[in-house]
Amino acid sequence: MMSHGLLILLSFVAGWVDASSFVGLNHIMTAHVTGNLVVLAANVAEGFRPDDMLKIVVLPVFFGAVMVLTMVHDRLWGNHDNVPRQVSLMLRLEAVLIAGTGLLGVWASLAGWTLDFWASLLIVTPVICGMAVQNAAHRLYPAIGPATTVMTGNITQFFIDQARRLAGRSSTSLIDDMPKQGGLLPLLILTFGVGCVSGALATTAVGIGSFLVPAVLIGAASVLPKLASQ
């Protein structure tokens, strides 16, 4: 598994962009992208609006981004053995994509855009693709460690561990990509939560330009060899 610092950073970024997009971009989830189906179902029950179509459209955007990334990875990077370098390249790509949403958000604000369906789709597409990169990176490079974009599995494992410890038994995840170190899971969960609160507050205060913060953090991580080392 790669450094804990990288996992903590990725968890913080995932929480930030998920909350930021939900607050600033018509209740769209960008890290936990399938959560949009739940929000969409609630919208349908309350009264469907044309803008709610965005929650459907972002799904094929995400799926397509994962497929394109996989094909590019397998063609250009998959045959190389330098995993930290390949992860660094993916982080740089993710940083550029998230920054794209931040810059489009600043532009939209300065230009006085109304965030209708098409404007929101344009702005959210880069970060959706960026989180497709982060989600796919965990699958393409299991050495990164446990998932950082959806905390449900991590939280479930954490409470399984606590229940067994209360019963006086040891607990180790049977899933290969879950952390074996007892202190890492609660740290990832906490960091994700801090990212959510930070992203929501920042977006409320300054708008969609707040996406530039996680973009800078991911970009910095991509050039820090200690964060991507095993």
| In a domain? residue 36 | yes
CB 18 within 8 A of CB 196: yes
Burial 117-127 (b: 16+ CB within 10 A, else e): eebbbbbbbbb
Tell the residue number behind the tokens 């909350």, with chain if given.
19
pLDDT digit string (tens) for the chain, length 230 residues = 567 889 999 999 999 999 999 999 988 999 888 888 888 888 778 877 777 889 889 999 999 999 999 998 888 876 667 788 888 889 999 999 999 999 999 999 999 988 888 999 999 999 999 999 999 998 888 888 788 887 777 777 777 777 878 888 876 665 555 655 667 888 888 999 999 999 999 999 999 999 999 999 999 988 875 555 54
In terms of C-beta distances under 8 Å and separation of at least 24 residues, what long-range contacts does 146-150 make, across chains too? 146/7, 146/177, 146/178, 146/179, 146/184, 146/185, 146/188, 147/177, 148/7, 148/10, 148/11, 148/13, 148/14, 148/188, 148/192, 149/10, 149/14, 149/18, 149/31, 149/32, 150/31, 150/32
From 30, 195, 214, select the one nearest 121 (Cα to Cα).
30
Q: What is the span of the domain harbouring residue 134?
A: 4-222
| In a domain? residue 229 | no
| In a domain? residue 227 | no
Q: How much is the pTM?
A: 0.89
Number of domains, the chain: 1
From 160, 148, 151, select the one nearest 214 (Cα to Cα).
148
Tell the residue number behind the tokens 């962009």, with chain if given.
17
| In a domain? residue 168 | yes
CB atoms within 10 A of CB 181: 10
| In a domain? residue 169 | yes
CB 214 within 8 A of CB 19: no
